[in-house]
Amino acid sequence: MTASAELEIFLVALPGLESVLCDEVRERGFASPRIVPGGVTFRGGWPDVWRANLEIRGASKVLVRIGAIRVLHLAQLDKRARRFPWAETLRRDVPLRVDVTCRKSRIYHAGAAAQRIATAIREELGAPVTPDAELCIKARIEDDLGTFSIDSSGELLHKRGHKQAIGKAPMRETMAALFLRHCGYAGHEPVLDPMCGSGTFVIEAAEIAVGLHPGRSRRFAFESLAGFDAAHWSRLQTASAPKTPVVHFYGSDRDAGAIRMSRDNAARAGVSDFTTFRKQSISELMRPEGPSGLVIVNPPYGDRIGDPKPLLDLHAALGRTLRERFSGWRVALITTNAALARATGLPLVAPAQPVAHGGLKVRLYQTGPLP
Ligand SMILES: C[S@@+](CC[C@H](N)C(=O)[O-])C[C@H]1O[C@@H](n2cnc3c(N)ncnc32)[C@H](O)[C@@H]1O
């Protein structure tokens, strides 16, 4: 594994947010990123893989393509997988698992294919193959071409390592970061979430303003690959110094437990000095002193069979408070339900395309600065 090797690097996106992720990848200085089904791809070397895992806020995973073989039947897969140069990327002392998908190919039995690949790696390289290993080799057999990729991230990237406490319906950090970006937030204006739950939007916004890398506190699967350069990695981690933001970040929620969680999560993320969390309900919400900024909120969605009246009333109260007290602020509302968005009475423009979230489709509704 050479540091300069040109690899195809694939960032998995939340469906519906590919183009927002592509903007982030471009802005972070990665070469010519392209939107492809399911994510964003660009070419680079292993240091780009490490940096993408460290710096990109919106990707769910970073996959790295390590090669491809043509395979017409299982015996051929067995033979070619044995000859594949696994040792260039994998270490014989690091356990791994193999995950196979088959499409439009003569080999259609993913389990049998996975067994051939696992045996080849175990016998030729000597690495243990176990179903619960952190490191995952993904083989995609499509049109009789077997493409091998490595999941360089390990755990999904929304697991930054700071949010140990979560509420009932937490927003993923990756999704929160992309919604903030979609609203044009770049770290220079205050952000307020009046139904903050575990504090995801507020903490993400503060981290962006401070310039903290999302992957600064966690480990990644690539750290146990052959050719991993720990000295280079530690230089990447310390390449930029945090700044003190000129604006402040606010979260509130009527639930005392949510406020406790938010404060603990903010402390672990190192943004306590720039965030304020307060237990209060929507009706008590006041506009903070200082410049106007962005209110971003994902209120409870409810379910389809429950009585919609209390939720409609809650959205009406939210909209009224914001219209009366937040002149000059922009509002971003994330909801599954257009009727709830309308109930706010806010001057919302046409929503962005839907994004899959926990089995539901959510949409981002936005206003310009409120009159
Ligand atoms: C879908 S959750 C928000 C999740 C949050 N974005 C996160 O990442 O954890 C909705 C939140 O709204 C809060 N909430 C509901 N009614 C409220 C009200 N009237 N005033 C303030 N907060 C309220 C709930 O306590 C809950 O934490």
In the predicted model, what is the mean pLDDT of residues 354-370?
92
Q: pLDDT tens digit string along 35-86?
A: 999 999 999 999 999 999 999 999 999 999 999 999 999 999 999 999 999 9
State residue 1's pLDDT score: 47
pLDDT value at 305 more than 70: no
Nearest atom within ligand 1 for CA of residue 200: 8
Measure the CA–CA gap between 4 and 1, rounded to whole angstroms.
9
Q: What does the mean pLDDT of the chain come to?
A: 95
Out of 173, 174, 195, 335, give the residue to mutate to test ligand 1, the one with the largest number of ligand atoms within 8 Å of its CB: 195
State residue 2's pLDDT score: 44
pLDDT value at 172 more than 50: yes
Q: pLDDT tens digit string along 99-139?
A: 999 999 999 999 999 999 999 999 999 999 999 999 999 99
Measure the CA–CA gap between 265 and 280, rounded to whole angstroms.
19
Show the DSSP H helices in the chain as ranges.
Answer: 18-27, 46-55, 74-83, 110-120, 173-182, 200-210, 230-237, 256-269, 309-325, 338-343
State residue 163's pLDDT score: 82
Q: Is the CB of 300 under 6 A from ligand 1?
A: yes
In the predicted model, what is the mean pLDDT of residues 312-319?
97
42-69 CB burial, b ≥16 within 10 A, e <16: bbbbbebbbbbbbbbbbbbbbbbbbebb
Q: Is the CB of 204 under 6 A from ligand 1?
A: no
pLDDT value at 280 more than 70: yes
Q: pLDDT tens digit string along 200-255?
A: 999 999 999 999 999 999 999 999 999 999 999 999 999 888 899 999 999 999 99
**Is the model more confident about 358 or about 337?**
337
CA of 297 to the centre of ligand 1 (A): 8
Nearest atom within ligand 1 for CA of residue 196: 5
Please tell me the pTM assigned to this model: 0.95
Q: Is the CB of 299 under 6 A from ligand 1?
A: yes
pLDDT value at 322 more than 60: yes
